[in-house]
Every structure is written in structure tokens, then in C-alpha cells.
Amino acid sequence: MRLTDYITPDHVKIGLEGETKEEVIEELVELLAGNCEDCDADKVLEVVMNREREGSTGLEKGIAIPHAKCDAIDSLSIVIGISRDGIDFEAIDEKPSHLFFLMVAPMTESGPHVQAIAKIVKMIKIDSFRESLIKAKTPEQVVESIARVENGE
């Protein structure tokens, strides 16, 4: 599984405008809905927010991976948002989150969803990778950074 099979520049937003966890999730769901033909954005937002209420998906080192399974989409969808200032996402290290990987998978699909989360968690442990995403000036640079790590560069 390659993340770049699911993430194109259209799936990346640099300079998130949201200032709260809820606003960031709404912004990311809008981005996802704009890239998904038969996606019910309201339903996706509802399931992602419900999942977030069960426990924050804010990890450490400025990363958050809000995710959920939902019958409102047909296949795994991933979008990325970047906030240089950082947002309180109730992360486990209590620091602001800067990189957001929103992932929604259909209820009938488990493999790709789990593989994508595992791959993201592995990649974000690389300091230079995280820094390249935060410093990226264009969505294309974000996708290029992901591709470089996937290619072992």
C-alpha cells in the first residue's frame, strides 16, 4: 500500500484556517468531500466527530490522525491539513498539532485503513519528514515528501 495512491495535491491544504479541533475537522471534511464524488459530508463529519469524542486522535510530535469508518463513502479517502501555528487537538503530549491526516474508510473495508494508519505512524517518526511537511509551500511538495519516504530516499 502506498499513501501516494490515495493522496494527490488536491488532497492537501496548507494553512488551515480553523482554530479549534472542531473547526479543523470541519475544514478537512470539506476538503475530503471536494475530492470524493459520492460522499455525504454531513455524515462523514458526524462519524469523525463521534470517533473523536471517544478519545483524541492527537498523537505526539505535532501529529493528529482523525479517522473513522463510514458508509457515506465507497473507498478509503485521505486528506492532509497543515497548520504552521498549531492547534490544540488534545494530543497525548499536550502540545499543539501541526499535521493532520484525516482518513475515512467504508464500513466494509478494514485492511487499507489499518495499513494507512500504520504507515503514517511509521513515517511521522522521521523528524526530517515532519519538518518537510510543515515547511512545504505547496501541496505538490507535500506529496513529493511522502513519495520520497515511501521510495526509501
Where exactly are the structural domains of the chain? 3-150
Cell triple for 84: 504552521
Q: How many percent of the chain have pLDDT more than 90?
A: 67
* pLDDT (mean) for 79-107: 93
Handedness of CA 131, 30, 8, 117 (dihedral sign): positive
Which band of pLDDT confidence, cut at 50, 70 and 90, is reported for residue 45? very high
Q: What is the pLDDT of residue 102?
A: 95
Which band of pLDDT confidence, cut at 50, 70 and 90, is reported for residue 81? very high
CB atoms within 10 A of CB 9: 12
- Rounded to whole angstroms, the Cα distance separating 58 from 64 reads 4
Q: For domain 3-150, which CATH number applies: 1.10.10.10, 2.40.160.60, 3.40.930.10, 1.10.1040.50?
A: 3.40.930.10
Active site residues: 67
- Rounded to whole angstroms, the Cα distance separating 91 from 35 reads 27
Q: What is the pLDDT of residue 14?
A: 96
Q: Give the least confident one: 96-100, 111-115, 127-131.
A: 111-115
Q: 53-57: which pairs have CB atoms within 8 A and are 24 or more residues apart?
A: 56/21, 56/89, 56/90, 56/91, 56/92, 57/89
Give the closest residue to 105 by CA, choosing from 78, 76, 79, 66. Answer: 76
